[in-house]
Amino acid sequence: METVLIILFTLGIIVWIVFVIDAAIGLRRIDSLQQEPVLSNGPLLSVIVAARNEENHLRASILSQLGQTYENVEWILVNDRSDDGTGDIMDELTKQDLRIKVIHIRDLPEGWLGKNFALYTGSQAAAGKWLLFTDADVRYQDETFAKALHYFEKHQLDHLTAAPNLHAKKFWLRTFVAFFLFGFSYFKRPWQANNPKSKMGTGIGAFNLMSKKAYEAFGTHERIKMRPDDDLQLGMRLKQEGYRQRIVTALECIEVEWYGSLREAFVGLEKNTFAGLNYQVGMIFFSIFGVFVTNVLPFIMLFSESSTIALLSLGNILVSGIHYVMIIKRMTVFSPILYLVLPITALLFIYSIIRASYLTFRRGGIVWRGTTYRLSELKDRD
């Protein structure tokens, strides 16, 4: 067993060093939207917001957008079969600004996830040169649209996505969000979206801006109509097919409360955990094993009676800590000190994977926005 651990931890250090070098190079490619000049005027921007039962967040989100310094904007608000006050709030907002249009969806066609159909429906009513797909709980600083459009035009892009400030009030939720971004960075390497030679892309639901021409040429949301991770898939597939894409940080421009509590985070991840693992059972076990070995086991074996294993464990902790600090300082406003509870947070993340996978199999599918989608449908129409 000692030999196995020595080999495992030695390889771990090598892998972490590779990750650190990759991140150091990649993070330099990610610009900050806050530093971008503004585009004072230009073609029409269509902002498309799909909302289901978002009465607690919708109004504040839209009001934060209506004061944008870039004024040539229309809003397409799509009420996705809400049974709370979401639809009424949308109708009220049309009286405050004539640029707002509202679409009420009553029924969901077969073969579509609700959010994806709502975004697609909104895009069909949009008249703008650019389409911005965003969520109903996102808040914007006044110059965000103007800065994003200037960046978009300067780099002649087809797609721009922005990493927002993921606001979290409670300590353990902050650690969970930080760990999610940390893990996402070394599994998905989002900075590769800015490398024109790479086929790796990304997309973030809070801010997916693209030209309408590229969106229609790509095939619209019909291409991903049964993907619960629609935002990520949209970006990944666009880049794979050669569309010009970039990711920026927008920590001072865009804010979203990802989840209100750790429990809400667990529930929210039910819908896309298995999809993110490509619906493969083997990937569930691989992910659990990988997270445990890289983020929990070194902290345990730090107290090993074997000095070699203890030193190798310390090496893993130090190098992974460097990677963690690099990601957290660049992609969030959280303190890197959260790394001190990393093994506990990693165990929470493992629990979320097990919980989401178990519920998916027990239900035979996922529950998203109040609608149940069978696993067989999700796999067949992927």
100 and 241 belong to one structural domain: yes
pLDDT at 231 over 80: yes
Q: What is the pLDDT of residues 257-295, one digit of tens each?
A: 888 889 989 988 888 787 778 778 888 999 999 999 999
36 and 22 belong to one structural domain: no
Residue 114, domain member (yes or no): yes
pLDDT at 194 over 80: yes
Query: Binning pLDDT at 50, 70 and 90, where does residue 380 land?
Result: low
Domain span holding position 302? 2-26+268-370
292 and 310 belong to one structural domain: yes
pLDDT at 48 over 70: yes
Domain termination residue (choose one: 239, 258, 277): 258
284 and 211 belong to one structural domain: no
Cα-Cα-Cα-Cα dihedral sign, residues 329, 332, 333, 336: negative
How far apart (Å, rounded) are the C-alpha atoms in residues 55 and 74?
A: 21
DSSP assignment of 257-312, as one string? E--SSHHHHHHHTTTTHHHHTTT-HHHHHHHHHHHHHHHTHHHHHTT-S-HHHHHH
How far apart (Å, rounded) are the C-alpha atoms in residues 159 and 143?
A: 19
For position 371, what pLDDT does the model report? 75
Residue 320, domain member (yes or no): yes
366 and 219 belong to one structural domain: no
For position 259, what pLDDT does the model report? 83
- E strands, the chain, are 31-32, 45-51, 73-80, 100-105, 130-134, 138-140, 159-167, 208-211, 245-257, 365-368, 371-374
Residue 181, domain member (yes or no): no
The stretches of 207-254 forming alpha helices (DSSP H) are 212-218, 230-240
249 and 344 belong to one structural domain: no
Domain termination residue (choose one: 227, 258, 289): 258
CATH of the domain at 162: 3.90.550.10
How far apart (Å, rounded) are the C-alpha atoms in residues 20 and 359?
A: 35
197 and 299 belong to one structural domain: no
pLDDT at 355 over 70: yes
- List the structure tokens of 297: 């086991």
Domain count, the chain: 2
60 and 126 belong to one structural domain: yes
- List the structure tokens of 22: 């990759």
Residue 166, domain member (yes or no): yes
- Of the chain, the percentage scoring pLDDT greater than 90 comes to 80
228 and 278 belong to one structural domain: no
